[in-house]
Amino acid sequence: MSDSEEVRSAAPSGRATIKEAAPAKINLFLHVGDKRADGFHPLQSLAVFTGLGDFLAIETASGLSLTLEGPFAKGLEAESDNLVLRAARALGGKGAKLTLTKNLPVASGIGGGSADAAAALRGLNSLWNCGKDSTAQCEIAAVLGSDIPVCVLSTPCFMEGRGEILRAPESMPRVPMLLVNPRVAVPTKDVFAALQTRSGVDMTLPRGRFRDTADLLRFLETTRNDLEAPALALQPVIGEVLAAIAGLPGALFTRMSGSGATCFGIFADDESCARAAQVLKDAAPGWWVAPTFVPETGIAREVLGRDIGPTPDGL
């Protein structure tokens, strides 16, 4: 069962309960173009989703409510109109009791709020029997936010337009990844306001597959995150995070995700990633440090079978 796959069960009261994972979204690269007439920036990106994320439990109820739990719940308490509730109303606004376990830092560039809203769309679509397929859910999601359509799918995707044009690469290897946030929030609007240099959106995106990590890294070396420089100007500690990850044994690639301040490091294997996480936790106890991985998709593997041997009737 994948992280984004729903689980339907019965609550103690007999009410239906649906559980949806809201995995962290990582922008492996992010190119930005000039602002469009509608006020949005066109972009090109490759988004992937990790084994780490928030968690949304949904129960049938007469009214619509949201309860916040988890280590980063306090970061959302001041919001009077959470994206999860906006997603519920956009889908129909019927009754449901939603409980969001917030495991990801808020305003951290890894799509936490967008992933939560997408989880609400998926789960409530099932609970309320709305019958909307992923395409219809993505159309609703696009109205709510540019990052939400890709979070509805929660699979590796190239993003274009303002985020609503999605195409999945044929394959993606398993990618051990270390996520690090210095526990500073970086509002996306402030980062875009400080943006001066843009890569533009004319890059020819790969049409084939990423066969292994080396294949993926060769591509990423030709890209950048245009929001990294303005985010660094707003929060110089991001530079310290990038340098710290790059200096860890086994780090193959380092970059900031989205509008920051979360940065990621790609590692050769899970063991080196876990060791690096412990080293950094000891060195920077005030930072949020989380080892995780991007699941592989579309990789064909040979399965060894038994040799054909003699039968009662001979060879």
- Stated as kind and residue range, the H or E segment containing 288 is strand 288-294
The phi and psi torsions of 165 (rounded to 5 degrees) equal: -95, 110
Distance between CA atoms of residues 260 and 255, nearest Å: 10
Grouping H, G, I as helix, E, B as strand and the rest as coil, residue 131 is coil
147 is catalytic: yes
CA atoms within 13 A on the CB side of 295: 14
For residue 144, give every residue at least 6 positions away whose Cβ sits within 8 Å of its Cβ, in sequence order, or none: 83, 86, 87, 90, 117
Tokens representing 304?
């060894």
Sign of the C-alpha dihedral, residues 92, 98, 102, 107?
positive
Handedness of CA 66, 71, 77, 83 (dihedral sign): negative
Element (H, E) at 144: helix 134-144
Burial of 237 (0-12, 13-18, 19+ CB in 10 A): middle
Give CA–CA dist 151/133, Å, rounded: 14
Among the options 25, 97, 102, 132, which is catalytic?
A: 25
Strand order of the β-sheet with 263-267 is: 251-256, 263-267, 175-181, 288-294
| Strand runs labelled E in 16-69 | 16-32, 43-59, 64-69
Q: Which of 54, 116, 147, 226 is catalytic?
A: 147
**Which of these, 169, 196, 188, lies nearest to 262 by C-alpha position?**
188
Q: Which residues are catalytic?
A: 25, 147
